[in-house]
């Protein structure tokens, strides 16, 4: 799979998640400060390092990479998913509506950002200046908010304004927050209806869940389409998430490969004839059908 991705991506990369989230913070804050409706604008190029539609003479030299301690990463994934699965019993007995659960997830996210910032400040006050380089990225989002002069004259005023922003509909409209909260709310509804009753199977089926939620919630609105596994596909198509309806991102998995093939054919058929005629000139070694 990695070799396929390298060959087809042609050197294009998405920007790191923290850069995309920071852009979302900046846009949401601007809407909040100017009292505009929390209708989140999407600039697709925010997520890419460079223009992806240019003609180019790309080639690559493959160099093996270091991916960390694989066993340690695998163990950490299992431990984190095990913790999630342990909460399923409480979810089954919960009485919150879907909307209430989404609000709870958003409130938890806001609390997480604030707690990270408070920890950052405490460490800095104690003389731990390493936190400036190694502190959690979530603290940096809040620290940037609090440096924004439009939030108030004093630090205390800006902190209070930041707290109000983090509990606003504008913060909730950020894709990274909205999509993530809705995915967890949809998963909770599946659990309440009897899904994932077997804990061992649940851990195996949800092994990459946190990574998937992170990448989908951050990047999905910037992509025309995403390919996911069956379980995530089912979640993203629920009315609670409705990724395609809300953000226009097409979804494909092993359950609808025919739709993927049809979509790719549609794209291919839409290529202008003059562009096809120019391909041999731009890429002499390219073999066309």
With beta carbons less than 8 A apart as the criterion, state whether 136 and 211 touch.
Answer: no
Q: Are 110 and 176 in contact (CB under 8 A)?
A: no
pLDDT for the residue numbered 42:
87
List Cα–Cα distances, 66 to 16, 63, 69, 70, 131, in angstroms. Answer: 18, 10, 9, 10, 26
- Per-residue pLDDT tens digits for 153-187: 999 999 999 999 999 999 999 999 999 999 999 99
Look over the chain and give the mean of its residue pLDDT values, rounded to a whole number.
Answer: 89
Distances (CA, A) of 3 to 10, 63, 70, 101, 229: 11, 11, 18, 40, 19
8 A C-beta contact, residue 97 and residue 240: no
Distance, in Å, from the CA atom of 193 to the CA atom of 263, rounded to the nearest integer, reads: 33
- Confirm if 191 and 263 have CB atoms less than 8 A apart: no
**Percentage, residues of the chain above pLDDT 70:** 92
For a pLDDT cut of 90, what percent of the chain falls above it? 60
- pTM for the full predicted model: 0.87
Q: What per-residue confidence (pLDDT) applies to 172? A: 97
**Interval 45-104: pLDDT, tens:** 899 887 777 767 777 776 666 556 656 666 666 678 888 899 998 999 888 999 999 999
284, pLDDT greater than 70:
yes
* Angstrom distances, CA of residue 235 to CA of 191, 214, 241: 12, 14, 7
């Amino acid at each position: 799979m990695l070799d396929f991705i390298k060959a087809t991506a042609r050197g294009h990369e998405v920007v790191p998640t923290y850069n995309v989230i920071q852009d979302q913070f900046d846009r949401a804050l601007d809407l909040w400060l100017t009292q505009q409706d929390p209708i989140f604008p999407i600039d697709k190029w925010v997520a890419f390092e460079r223009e992806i539609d240019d003609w180019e003479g790309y080639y690559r030299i493959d160099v093996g990479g270091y991916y960390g301690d694989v066993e340690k990463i695998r163990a950490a994934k299992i431990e984190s998913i095990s913790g999630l699965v342990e909460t399923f019993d409480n979810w089954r007995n919960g009485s919150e509506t879907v909307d209430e659960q989404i609000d709870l997830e958003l409130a938890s996210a806001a609390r997480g950002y604030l707690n990270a910032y408070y920890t950052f400040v405490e460490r800095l006050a104690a003389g731990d200046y390493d936190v400036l380089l190694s502190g959690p990225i979530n603290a940096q989002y809040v620290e940037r908010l609090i440096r924004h002069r439009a939030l108030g004259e004093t630090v205390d005023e800006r902190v209070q304004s930041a707290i109000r922003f983090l509990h606003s509909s504008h913060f909730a409209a950020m894709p990274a927050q909205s999509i993530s909260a809705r995915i967890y709310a949809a998963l909770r509804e599946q659990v309440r209806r009897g899904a994932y009753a077997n804990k061992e199977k649940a851990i195996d089926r949800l092994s990459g869940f946190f990574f998937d939620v992170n990448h989908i919630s951050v990047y999905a609105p910037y992509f025309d389409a995403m390919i996911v596994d069956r379980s995530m596909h089912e979640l993203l198509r629920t009315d609670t998430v409705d990724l395609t309806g809300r953000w226009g991102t097409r979804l494909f998995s092993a359950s609808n490969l025919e739709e993927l093939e049809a979509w790719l054919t549609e794209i291919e058929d839409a290529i202008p004839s003059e562009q096809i005629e120019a391909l041999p000139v731009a890429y002499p070694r390219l073999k066309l059908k």
